[in-house]
A and B are shown apart, each in its own frame.
Chain A
Amino acid sequence: MNLSKTLKNGFLILVACSVLTACATKKSSEKMGQLQGDVYTGSDSVKYLASGVPDRVFFATNEIVLTTASRETLRKQATWLRKNSDINVVLEGHADERGTREYNLALGERRANSAKDYLMTYGISSDRISVLSYGKEKPIDSGSNPLAWSKNRRSVTVKAN
């Protein structure tokens, strides 16, 4: 009895907190909506290789795992690449600024290869894909905040010819 009461009170407090938080962050809620976990899900900075084929995928901090959305993007890229068999691509891997330069070069290479591997499972020959890591050297967003960093953790598919 006592316990459930405590829990109930605790729950009420939690609800009150979340309402307050929601109020406090209303202004930035639009921006917050562009992150899932800390993976960027918005469309800022995204370009298109063809109609409906986004050119980039985003990663969580220190991660190389492709999200569901990233896999969907890469499947679209694979379909487009199959249709355009004369086109080769460079996958440019990037990291955010919150890491040491050399480690980030390796991380960018890993991210681009993560995307490459996925394209290959959809039948794109490795001969058509090259990989280039820029580490933290070419941020797309100059901000020093989690949203900017999430946009910078990316692998961008660029036409090579």
Chain B
Amino acid sequence: MLFRYLFILLILLPIKAFALIEVDITRGNLNPLPVAVSPLDIDKNSKDNFKKILKKENLGVEISTIVENNLKQSGLFNPLNKEAFLQEPDIANLKPRFEDWNLIKAQALVTGKVTFIDEKLRVEFRLWDVLAGKEMMALAFTTVPSNWRRVGHIITDKVYERLTGEKGYFDTRIIYISEEGPKTNRIKKLAIMDQDGFNNKFLTLGNELVLTPRFSPTNQMVTYLSYFRNLPRVYLLDIETGMQEVVGDFPGMTFAPRFSPDGKKIIMSFAKDGNSDIYTMNLENRIVERISNHPSIDTSPSYSPDGKYITFNSDRSGYQQIYVMSSNGKNVKRISFGNGLYGTPVWSPRGDLIAFTKLHKGKFYIGVMRTDGTGERLLTENFYQEAPSWSPNGRILIFYRETKTNSKGEGFSAKLWSIDLTGYNEKMVETETDASDPSWSSLLSN
């Protein structure tokens, strides 16, 4: 049901080739770019129609607020207070008075217009370089009105891409585990929400324990661990239809599932007689292959984006460490050699880094290293945190953090957090309930 809407994207004007303002996202950004997001202009007729359909007073303002919040959350932009704006939205969209926007120190300006046409929502927007007094981009979208939040996210993606030179990550979803109840008796449900926390939906009822959901690169499927009938097994769930099935026919616990980059295989661990090894199952022909074969615990496998390699953690050295091997299980090589234990390696979608959890001297760290193990960088330290998942552009990690309880064992909570690859912009991701095991989807529209 999430994907039934046909999304039409029309490019109005070609993007001009000369780069004007630019945001460097490779370093921690302590001076976010001041940007003005003008409320999108809306005519009275359209306003009334959307009010009727969507119960939103002014859809132009609503969509621009989404853009504004997204840009602010990224930490790279500083959206300016709308009250300081001197120009009305309709005129600004036609031709901004750049000196007015310059006056309030805006370097970039987003304007646009919302109309109701043939029962559809049409949104056009423009991105302006205030200092150069030039239009940088102009696009228009037509879609069903109920898609209005996605329009806000897509506009942000376009603005982000134009200004940073990298793909955005705003038109995406997070699948995660919703948690409620006391620490000794947690009720866990599979849940999905937009990247900004809106449109939250529960996908299971909480009757059985569920863990570690992961998105398919195609976004329609999710793989996760369920204790249905007290048999911990890897499941495959179609978000669109709600259909689910057990992956493979294993005589024991399967866990730690992830998709291969082409979405055709699921890689996971299978535990039997005290030994966990890594297996794949091809979703088309159901063929199961054993990838690792070692008496130690081999788990948390993750493919490189080209599908040629697998990173995983193993305690074959005596302690949990990170390894890389070819996708056929050959050429196993340990890559983590720092002090402490290393787990949950996840290959970056850009291919150059592996994110991990590290446990050292009673503290948990989220960090990244190159795929040969060099260049280890710890991004954040806490009492307990683990399970990083990459944003589709490989710039942000989302993970979960659990609190230390007090002397009476009270005060437990689990929340999602995100941090930039630079180590800056660490923040809690708001969720309706406690939350863990986040997995970031790829961009929904491309």
Contact = CB atoms under 8 A, between A and B. Distances in A.
Interface stretch (A9-17, A74-82, A98-106): A98-106
Given A101-B212, A105-B271, A133-B232, A142 B297 contact: no
A97 B384 contact: yes
Interface stretch (B149-157, B165-173, B180-188): B180-188
Given A101-B387, A132-B232, A109 B357 contact: no
B405 A133 contact: no
Interface string B169-208: 0000000000000111110000000000000000000000
Interface string A100-119: 11110111011001100100
A62 B271 CA distance: 17
Contacts of A139: 183-184
Q: Which of B186, B275, B276, B407 has the most CB of A within 10 A?
A: B276
A148 interface: yes
A102 B212 contact: yes
A161 interface: no
Q: Using C-beta atoms within 8 Å of the partner chain, give the interface range for chain B.
A: 35 or more
Contacts of A103: 297, 299-300, 313, 315, 320, 343
- Minimum-distance CB pairs A-B, first 7: A113-B274, A142-B409, A100-B343, A142-B183, A106-B276, A144-B404, A106-B297
B100 interface: no
B273 interface: yes
A47 to B, nearest CB: 15
Contacts, number: 100
Nearest to B211: A101
B297 A137 contact: no
B248 to A, nearest CB: 17
Contacts of A140: 184
Q: Using C-beta atoms within 8 Å of the partner chain, give the interface range for chain A.
A: 20 to 34
B255 A102 contact: yes
B211 to A, nearest CB: 7
Contacts of B341: 99
A64 interface: yes
Interface string A130-143: 01111001111111
Q: Which of B274, B297, B357, B405 has the most CB of A within 10 A?
A: B274
Nearest to A100: B343
B344 interface: yes
B412 A110 contact: no
A52 B74 CA distance: 60
A132 B252 CA distance: 9
Contacts of A62: 319
Contacts of A110: 274-276, 297
Given A100-B300, A133-B253, A109 B276 contact: yes
A132 B232 CA distance: 8
27 contacts: A62-B319, A64-B274, A98-B384, A99-B320, A99-B341, A100-B300, A100-B313, A100-B320, A101-B386, A101-B437, A102-B255, A102-B269, A102-B300, A103-B315, A105-B253, A105-B271, A106-B299, A110-B275, A110-B297, A113-B273, A131-B252, A133-B253, A138-B184, A138-B185, A142-B182, A142-B409, A142-B412
